[in-house]
Amino acid sequence: MSEAMADNTKGGSAPLPYSGDPSEVRDWFQLLKPRVMTLVVFTGLVGMVVAPGHLHPVLAVTAILCIAVAAGAAGAINMWYDRDIDAVMRRTQGRPIPAGKIEAGAALSYGIFLSVMSVVVMGLATNWVAAAVLAFSICFYVFVYTMWLKRRTPQNIVIGGAAGAFPPVIGWAAVTGSVTLEPLVLFAIIFFWTPPHFWALSLWAHADYERAGVPMLPVVAGARETRRQILLYTILLAPLGLAPWLLGFAGPAYAVVAGGLGLGFLYCATTVWRDQQDATGRSLTNDAPARRTFRFSLLYLALLFAALAAEHLVLR
Amino acid sequence: MTPDERAALDRRRRHRNWAMLGALGGLVVLFYFITIAKFVH
């Protein structure tokens, strides 16, 4: 473990330059991690679509808005806490806080304000079960993932990935007012999808994490072990993708799509595992299979959830 | 501060104020429609 990693468990303590100039509106928007928001909104929407029952369109749009804002707010608090490592990593150096465009304290207030607002509006618009799950997901992302796990364990992505798995549960709860087995299956799919997705990325982006002292699996356990873990999680994920059909809340069309996507993901993970490596496990192909697997993982989740929603909208 | 910097600063401040107004206006409209929808639902 590098020296930087050993010392890097407190987060956000280093003073960063703040330009003092008024920030642009787009800087505040960037603080909400808009790209992450898209996935969250999509999976939350699918949770609402497949849930039994009906929600007034205005309330449904409000619920989706709350999920998006809550995810963004948690992202803003994450950027506040991680500002020291963001300044070190090439991928995150341009974020508003390390770039000196937004003062750290202002970003924290913004994140807390939006978090509270999203939970309150969700409660008023739909029900307090959905609001409670939303609040729990924000707290999980901020306290469990960002503050506790991210800098301490290579399993950060595994447990922390649960934070990103909540949106379909929230969407379901917004419609039904309860949390049953079905949304928990959707939760499990995203939960088991997250490690192979992020570890595929970290196989070729680990230099950035190493520089920042974040103990991602390839940094701590090496590329060879990471490839093995990607395959193991994909072996668990592929049959899990069929669970909605086995439990009866998805039909045969979904099963065909899920089966095909699962086999595709398994094929990709196998190519990662069998990638040509040197004695230290470093890829001799510039991690081409890992890059392909990362792209496929995005397609996998999008198509899987789209198939689930489409089947409910068209065939049921 | 040069006139150009001053103008850029004013522009950004103006943008932020408009965004704040938009956000507050959006919330008012949102609460209005939530109330109506809750009555109908």
Contact (CB<8Å) A59/B38: yes
Q: Other C-beta atoms within 10 Å of A25: how many?
A: 17
Binned at pLDDT 50, 70 and 90, residue B10 comes out as: confident
Two structure tokens written together for A277: 């490596």
How far apart are the C-alpha atoms of B41 and B36, rounded to whole Å? 9
Give the residue from A79, A71, A73 showing the smallest Cα distance to A97: A79
Instruction: Provide the pLDDT for residue A55.
Output: 92
How far apart are the C-alpha atoms of B25 and B33, rounded to whole Å? 13
Instruction: Provide the pLDDT for residue A159.
Output: 85
Contact (CB<8Å) B37/A59: yes
- The pLDDT tens digits of the residues spanning A242-287 come to 999 999 989 999 999 999 999 999 999 999 999 888 877 788 888 8
> Residues B12, A21: contact at Cβ < 8 Å?
yes
- Within 8 A by CB and 6+ apart from A143, the residues are none
Distances (CA, A) of A277 to A54, A265, B12, B23: 53, 21, 51, 52
Give chain A's residues under pLDDT 50. Answer: 1-7
- The dihedral sign for the CA sequence B26, B28, B31, B35: negative
How far apart are the C-alpha atoms of A29 and B23, rounded to whole Å? 12
Residues of B in Cβ contact (< 8 Å) with A22: 9, 12-13, 16
Site of tokens 């202002």 = A106
Contact (CB<8Å) B15/A28: no
CA–CA–CA angle A142, A144, A150 (5° rounding)? 90
CA–CA–CA angle B33, B38, B39 (5° rounding)? 100
Contact (CB<8Å) B37/A124: no
Distances (CA, A) of A179 to A51, A136, A169, A256: 10, 13, 7, 27
Å between B1 CA and nearest CA of chain A: 12
Instruction: For chain B, say whether A274 makes contact (Cβ under 8 Å).
Output: no
Q: So what's the ipTM on this one?
A: 0.73
pTM of the model: 0.88
The H or E element containing residue B3 is helix B3-40
Instruction: Provide the pLDDT for residue A316.
Output: 65
Which residue type, as a one-letter code, is found at position A20? Answer: G
